[in-house]
Amino acid sequence: MTIWMLVEQCARELTENGISPFTRADIIKCVQRKNAAYGPNSINPIIQGLTDNLHGGAPGAVGKNILHSVGRGLFVLSDENPEHMKQLVSDTPTQKPINAVSRKSDSLMPENLTNQISNNSVRRIGGYDFRYICTLEPERDTNGTVLTFMPQARFVNTNGLALNKYGNGPFCKFKIPQNLEYPGVYALMEASDIKYIGECATLSSRYNMGYGNISTRNCFVGGQETNCRINNLILQQISAGSKISLWFLNTSNHKSIESQLRVSLSPSWNRI
């Protein structure tokens, strides 16, 4: 498979996994997992060459119609950014709420997740050993109240594009440690109750650019409505005083195991 075909394939996989926009680093990591012979110096010109609103680069056989740049180092698929959606994209940076609490630097997790996390942080789920990652902690104001966001409300929807079923919000914002770019199956739990089972190609990206940060695009029909639904459920639980913890099974067989666990465990937030 040619390098430009790998870049396109990775961009589509990232989008399907709810990672949109994705970073240049996300594409490079994905391509190198598929073919380690390609280094950043080979991949970067291809990314540039496949991006419809960037100059230069080394375009593939399909030309500049695969990617669209939505910010410095941030991309979406070109067909995820149709003309009627451009009304929804603002050039004005999102302002942080004036009463938002400053976030501490994300803690770094060990390079070898399986071997380094304490065995005391292991929970048996459906016959597999899941390891504790963190308790989800959304942004709060100075009084400790969870901050809520409605990204779709900041834009004038002149074309009347419909919200998806869960796009009305409200939503919260949260992050998990940034360097957990591992494939696997994750579980969201309230105490001992398994609320949701999912799978991902890269854990940190799935949460930090998916569930934990709802983009305007995801609020509307054609966006990732699962991100909206799960974020709102997390917001409801935490606002009611519950704690939601994240557990993770590092595995390359994530799609099969996730499917198995969803059927056998029937978590209340999963739709079978």
Looking at the structure, do residues 7 and 138 belong to the same domain, yes or no? no
Is residue 266 exposed (0-12), middle (13-18) or buried (19+ Cβ within 10 Å)?
Answer: exposed
- pLDDT score at 20: 76
Residue 88 lies in a domain: no
- pLDDT score at 99: 35
Task: State pLDDT tens for residues 146-171.
Answer: 999 988 776 666 667 788 899 888 99
Looking at the structure, do residues 216 and 153 belong to the same domain, yes or no? yes
Residue 115 has pLDDT above 60, yes or no: no
- pLDDT score at 164: 87
Residue 105 lies in a domain: no
Task: State pLDDT tens for residues 63-114.
Answer: 677 888 887 788 888 765 444 333 333 222 333 333 333 333 333 344 445 4
Range of the domain at 187: 113-265
Which of 82, 99, 128 lies at the terminal end of a domain, its last residue?
Answer: 82
Looking at the structure, do residues 224 and 137 belong to the same domain, yes or no? yes
Task: State pLDDT tens for residues 25-47.
Answer: 999 999 999 999 999 888 988 88
Looking at the structure, do residues 38 and 146 belong to the same domain, yes or no? no
Bridge partners (DSSP) listed for residue 135: 245
Determine which of 20-34, 107-121, 214-228, 229-243 has the lowest per-residue pLDDT on average.
107-121
pTM given for the model:
0.59
> Chain-wide mean pLDDT for the chain?
80
- Beta strands 74-77; 22-23: pairing state: antiparallel
Task: State pLDDT tens for residues 161-201.
Answer: 788 899 888 999 999 998 898 999 999 999 999 999 999 99
Which of 82, 102, 129 lies at the terminal end of a domain, its last residue?
Answer: 82
DSSP label of 105? P
- pLDDT score at 86: 36
Ramachandran quadrant class, 137 (left: phi over 0; alpha: psi -120 to 50; beta: rest): beta
